[in-house]
Structure 1
């Protein structure tokens, strides 16, 4: 089923199999995905294609500087005929929420997503509303250097399981895009290949993938190493360790295994950990970015030997 979802999304996003696979890993690991890249490379298109591949409820929220927190979570409105307050759900009440250009809204509005992403619920006027499963936030953002953007708070970034960049297409894929996307949008003909119930079953299968004690210790060693690096002022949180293991379980399931290998963790270090880390001033001045620092840290952590 995961293969069918990937093939369906790749009808729209050509030549980006690894990015599509990462999105599906996050979906099956019950996480949230952050797509960060320059404008025009297909971030929103990928979000919509993944959402349309699943027969479920989808809401798109366009983040703008004047967007209010109540637009996201919902608001209680007084009904004069019944003389009671009625709750009108906001944009997060869907199975898949597409947050387009999330870093163009103010930090206050961005923070409205904290509870729903962390606890899968929304509290408005002291009343808690639970969100249906599956629930996934796919947020797109332009690089912080772009004009009119607000950096995501650390607490917000930490709630995204993974961050991936799409990058520019290879020439052959761009030529194919001109031929296929010139007259009509490929999203118009995209049909669902699964539904929410099937996704819930797949998530349950992923949750039962075995993680040995050795692999668990390796995951902790990877995240702990970031906390002790002199090149970082903010290392990976315990939530990051949990997300790394959950994503590794989903990756193992996609590779038709019921157990996690150290290679699964190693392959996910960059997308799962990099966006949570902050480089020191010395590292930034020296031109060392987070990706290079993290790669060096991960290379120094001993990989456990396979057990017989």
Structure 2
């Protein structure tokens, strides 16, 4: 449903997007992960037909996002990373405009207002960041679209609203929607995404299923040895880090657990524990690797 093929847009030396390709199928959530300025929002703007690529293409539902932008916009619910509503309009005004622009359901609108309550009589200029974000979410999902492009969607939301938003995304996924979500919040990506791509300096570093990314990531182990000598020897073998007590070693490795334990078996150990692998660990591993190149 969402496809990028070799998408390239160069703004300056090493700034922009370079040969970016990925696909988002119906009924899946695709996570787009990267630091500020990595190119996430630029890719989403291409999908919305707001930018013309230098080469490659972006399509939604088979329509070219640049040359068939009106057709694409009919298929998409869009939540931009920077919320910019006219300051003199009220929440009601924004929702009224949405009803005029798109095909919406009053029942769906009421449900969204129940999930993300706010005073729609308030003018935008008097709204907090969280209120504006809730208004933007309601406006985006009022349109029962087959595709959603979500750029930092939980920014400014409190934990309860974040959890409700994730439940909404999962429900939309179950309904067969194709969802692209950019975020810095790793736990929410793990809860919702089927696949993810890590992008840095406009280039895809790695793309795979969430489960595969986590399974292939470096594992972190903390080991306490009987003697400082043993700790030092093990640290040298595994390129670990000696901790303050001099008998504790922290090790990051991609070795399978059995391989790691075989090495560890040669030493007398007081305690051993492992830190759970997660998406943040994957992010740190790949970005640290890139920085060292």
TM-score range for the pair, normalised by the shorter chain length: 0.3 to 0.5
- Normalising by structure 2, we get a TM-score of 0.40
Which structure has the highest helix share of the two?
1
- Normalising by structure 1, we get a TM-score of 0.38
